[in-house]
Amino acid sequence: MKKAFSLWFILILLVAAAVIGYVYFIKEKEPADKYRMAKVERGSLSTYVTANGTVNPVTTVLVGTQVSGTIQKLYADFNSLVKKGQLIAQIDPATFQAQVSMAKAKLENAKAASLNAQADIATARSNIESSKANVLKASVLVEDTKRSLQRALELFQRNLISASDRDAAQTSHDSSLAQWEATRAQQKASEAQLESSKARLESSRAQIKQAEAEVELTQVNLDHTRITAPVNGIVISRNVDVGQTVAASLQAPILFTIAQDLTEMQVDTNVSEADIGRVAVGQETHFTVDAYPQITFKGKVTEIRNAPLTIQNVVTYNVVIHVRNPDLKLKPGMTANVSILVAHRENILKIPNAALRFRPEFARKEAADMKEKERRLASPSAPAAPGQIFERLKTEFNLSADQQASLARILKETQEEIQLARKMSPEESKVKVKELRGLTRMKIRSLLNEEQKRKYDQMMERMEDTQASARVYKIWIPASKGKPIPMEISTGISDGSFTEIIGDGLKEGQEIITEASRGNSKGETSATSKPPTPAPLRGFR
């Protein structure tokens, strides 16, 4: 029994030693981390701005009516091809025909009144001529009786005639004079009648013009009962039926909607204000519609409208895309998923975006530091050491002793105020620091002369451009022994999966690390870390 127990005890010790040896010797030789690789590729890369839009005809005409009435006949329906001037609907014209007849009758009355006035004028002129003759005859008679009266008076004074003869001569003269005044009054009456007839003639002429205008208006209204197509096209909407009454009192009711040419269409898209700066007229586009998910339609940007459209605090702009539609597959109102090509590169080096996100376990702290560095570079108000600013301005602008003293005082005061602002909440601190730096720039600028101000403005502009466009990332290259080697690269455009590499640091076919995993006892792999995702790469860097 003792011998058997000893053998089992020795066997257990050997097994334990074997397990310990495997763990401490064999497992130690296996690599702790395994890496998934990708190669640097050469090819093309495109960047797109995506947006949703609606397919519309290039020209859409809303056909209405200017007169009210009952729809008597319809000569066009949905999808009817129509030509310009073609009759497409008829409104009951009976009322308008009666109005035309009334207006024409009124015109005839005005013309008859004009003829009567002309006849009265002729009569008045004849009366005037007759009155003139009577006045002349009466004036001759007055002269004759006047001479007779004078002779009678002379003879009476000589007692050659009787008083009765003298009175008879006087009566004859008075009678002729009264007759002359009567003919003069008749002449004036004839002249007044002529003026009145002329006035009636002018009034009748005005009535004729008014009646002609009424005839023209009623005729226009009658013509408007015939609804014709204003353009060549296809009817895409009919909004009335036979027997329906339309009222055009306030605004013209829409009877038909005609698309001028469905072989030429446009897509009206809404592009966000964040992307509108990269869109330009002439850029190529492609889009899909739900009706034909397997077909990609192509178009070109033809217009960027400046009118903003704000929906739920999101500002967008209408970008018009022209597209040919020879097969008439695209129909008005379809929803289009549009991609606008804003940048394209040929024969460039590119890497997967996963390589830009990868960070090995030992580089966590370094990644955090790099992220902070990128944040500071991307900020338009990135801080700079006061000493560096002082030395740079002093050297580049050749500042005088007084300018140097004032500059040192301004930088010192700004640094103290920034330190106080850092104690506020993050949002308040960010706003306060930005205000302090803007104020500091104004103070520094006030110290400089005109030439120095010009150089200072150029320097600030270059700094802002550099900070806004700087995008430097760190990728990792596998090493034959030891830890992966980091490499800083500059990036260009990205399509969301691959990113352009700028510079000569990487070569085509070179391997880079995209992911790290650690092996377990079952041969499976699990990610050792989940690195932070950098800011999306959009457009040029």
Flag whether pLDDT at 27 surpasses 60: no
233 and 84 share one domain: yes
Flag whether pLDDT at 129 surpasses 50: yes
Tens digits of residue pLDDT in 262-276: 899 999 999 999 899
Check residue 538 and give its pLDDT: 37
Question: Is 141 among the domain residues?
Answer: yes
The number of beta carbons lying within 10 Å of the beta carbon of residue 257 is 19
208 and 243 share one domain: no
Instruction: Please say which residue of 417, 450, 472 terminates a domain.
Output: 472
Residue ranges with strand state E in 248-357: 254-259, 264-272, 284-289, 292-311, 314-324, 335-352
Domain that holds residue 245: 60-92+225-257
Check residue 57 and give its pLDDT: 93
- The residue among 84, 450, 28 whose CA lies nearest residue 233 is 84
Check residue 63 and give its pLDDT: 92
379 and 235 share one domain: no
What is the average pLDDT across 178-192?
Answer: 81
113 and 203 share one domain: yes
Check residue 337 and give its pLDDT: 95
Strand order in the sheet with 69-74: 226-228, 87-91, 69-74, 245-246
pLDDT confidence tier of residue 255, bands split at 50, 70 and 90: very high
119 and 190 share one domain: yes
> What is the β-pairing status of strands 335-352 and 226-228?
unpaired
Token pair in block for residue 178: 């009264």
pLDDT confidence tier of residue 153, bands split at 50, 70 and 90: confident
% of the chain exceeding 90 in pLDDT: 28
User: Within its chain, how far is the Cα of 14 from the centroid?
Assistant: 86
Token pair in block for residue 2: 């003792």
Question: Is 198 among the domain residues?
Answer: yes
Token pair in block for residue 217: 């208006």
117 and 181 share one domain: yes
Task: Confirm if 320 and 264 have CB atoms less than 8 A apart.
Answer: no
Check which CATH number belongs to the domain holding 114 and give it.
1.10.287.620
Flag whether pLDDT at 78 surpasses 50: yes
pTM for this predicted structure: 0.55
400 and 436 share one domain: yes
Question: Is 6 among the domain residues?
Answer: no
86 and 233 share one domain: yes
Flag whether pLDDT at 212 surpasses 80: yes
Task: Confirm if 317 and 309 have CB atoms less than 8 A apart.
Answer: yes
What is the average pLDDT across 453-467?
Answer: 69
The number of beta carbons lying within 10 Å of the beta carbon of residue 332 is 16
131 and 232 share one domain: no
70 and 139 share one domain: no
d(CA 201, CA 118): 6
Flag whether pLDDT at 143 surpasses 70: yes
**Interior CA angle at 106 toward 101 and 111, to 5°?**
125
Question: Is 492 among the domain residues?
Answer: no
* Number of domains observed in the structure of the chain: 3
H helix runs in 71-93, sequence order: none
Question: Is 171 among the domain residues?
Answer: yes
d(CA 499, CA 536): 11
Tens digits of residue pLDDT in 367-404: 566 555 555 544 444 445 566 677 777 777 788 888 88
Region of residue 283 (left: phi > 0; alpha: psi -120 to 50; beta: else): beta
Half-sphere exposure of 540 (CA within 13 A, CB side): 10
Please provide the average confidence, as pLDDT, over all residues in the chain.
Answer: 80
Question: Is 327 among the domain residues?
Answer: no
Cβ-proximal residues to 201 (8 Å cutoff; 6+ apart), any chain: 114, 117, 118, 121
Task: Confirm if 278 and 300 have CB atoms less than 8 A apart.
Answer: no
Question: Is 136 among the domain residues?
Answer: yes
d(CA 280, CA 270): 14
d(CA 464, CA 131): 104
Check which CATH number belongs to the domain holding 69 and give it.
2.40.50.100
Check residue 483 and give its pLDDT: 80
What is the average pLDDT across 449-475?
Answer: 70
190 and 250 share one domain: no
244 and 193 share one domain: no
% of the chain exceeding 70 in pLDDT: 82
CA torsion through residues 356, 506, 45, 272, sign: positive
Question: Is 419 among the domain residues?
Answer: yes
Q: Which has the minimum average pLDDT: 199-203, 236-240, 304-308, 326-330?
A: 199-203
Helix or strand holding residue 403 (H, E)? helix 401-421
Check residue 372 and give its pLDDT: 59
- Start-to-end CA distance of the chain, whole Å, equals 82
Instruction: Please say which residue of 223, 245, 278 terminates a domain.
Output: 223
